[in-house]
């Protein structure tokens, strides 16, 4: 997935990423900070870390659990 380009807004930069039809955005001082935030946010969303921190439980099927044990 390609990261979007930061948009300059007066003296700051803004970037937004979309994941599962939801938009996440932030404002930072430099374009590089925006790109770093976007990359970390996408990794966090893909790994499910945010859901676990909110109290959600990760989904582990019995099949996958058996494969890991054997």
pLDDT digits (tens, 9 = 90+) for 27-65: 999 999 999 999 999 988 888 776 666 666 666 677 766
Give yes or no for a contact between 38 and 25, defined as CB atoms under 8 angstroms apart: no
User: Residue 45: its pLDDT value, please?
Assistant: 87
C-alpha Rg value of the chain to the nearest Å: 17
Domain assignment of residue 2, yes or no: yes
Domain assignment of residue 4, yes or no: yes
User: Which residue range(s) make up the domain with 8?
Assistant: 1-50
pLDDT band for 70, please (50, 70, 90 cuts).
low
Q: What DSSP letter does each residue of 7-68 carry, written as one string? A: EEETTEEEEEEEETTEEEEEEESSHHHHHHHHHHHHHHHHHTHHHHHTT------HHHHHHH
pTM, entire model? 0.68
> What is the total count of domains within the chain?
1
Domain assignment of residue 59, yes or no: no
């Amino acid at each position: 997935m390609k990261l979007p380009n930061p948009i300059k807004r007066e003296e700051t930069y803004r970037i937004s990423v979309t994941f599962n039809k939801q938009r996440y955005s932030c404002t930072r001082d430099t374009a590089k900070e925006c790109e770093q935030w976007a990359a970390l946010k996408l990794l966090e969303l893909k790994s499910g870390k945010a859901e676990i921190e909110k109290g959600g439980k990760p989904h582990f099927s019995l099949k996958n659990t058996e494969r890991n044990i054997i």
